[in-house]
Structure 1
Amino acid sequence: MKEGIHPKNYRPVVFQDLSNGDKFIVRSCIVTSETIKMEDGHEYPLSKVEITNASHPFFTGQQMLLDTAGRVERFNKRFGKMGKKS
């Protein structure tokens, strides 16, 4: 790495997903006042986040697409011909 271009406080930080409680350690320079002791016996700065890839419906496969009142069909009926090549 080039010298002098990276922040000085780049260190391991624990990010905790508040929706499911998952914790993971990532190197970051985020400023936080909370700390947490992990299973490895070390104490790390803690950053709490609302949602991560472990709990987001898109990444977990729980996302559902809802077609309310035939909106997709109505859209395709109005604009479906524009994208087709003859």
Structure 2
Amino acid sequence: MQQDKHPEYRPVVFRDRAAGYAFLTRSTATSEQTIEWDDGESYPVVDVEISSESHPFYTGKARTVDSEGRVARFERRYGGGPGEGSGPTG
């Protein structure tokens, strides 16, 4: 590995403003702001819009797609419903 070509990898706090959640991890992200963490040390803090704490997929609040309506619309438009002679059984 060549020296002085890679950014510094250090502890950084990522703060999800939507969920009010923060977590400490290692990253190359930089910030002028700092925050005092639970261990008494100050770390750079990066504010993010969304994390696993506020993302609908991870919180279980994701919307489901109306796939049945899409299939029915496709069959109306292009035929292919049961008994119409399409597919291996018709």
Structure 2 length-normalised TM: 0.70
Shift of 1:29: 0.8
What's the Cα RMSD here?
2.7
Larger radius of gyration: 2
For residue 51 of structure 1, report the CA deviation from its aligned partner: 0.3
Structure 1 gap ranges (5+): none
Q: How many equivalent residue pairs?
A: 79
Identity %: 44
User: Partner letter of residue 30 of structure 2?
Assistant: V
TM-score normalised by length of structure 1:
0.73
Q: CA deviation at 1:8?
A: 4.6
What stretches of structure 2 of length at least 5 have no aligned partner? 81-86
Aligned ranges for residues 1-86 of structure 1 at < 5 Å? 3-4=1-2, 7-65=6-64, 67=66, 70-75=69-74, 77=75, 78=77, 86=88
Q: Which runs of 4+ in 1 moved over 6 A?
A: none
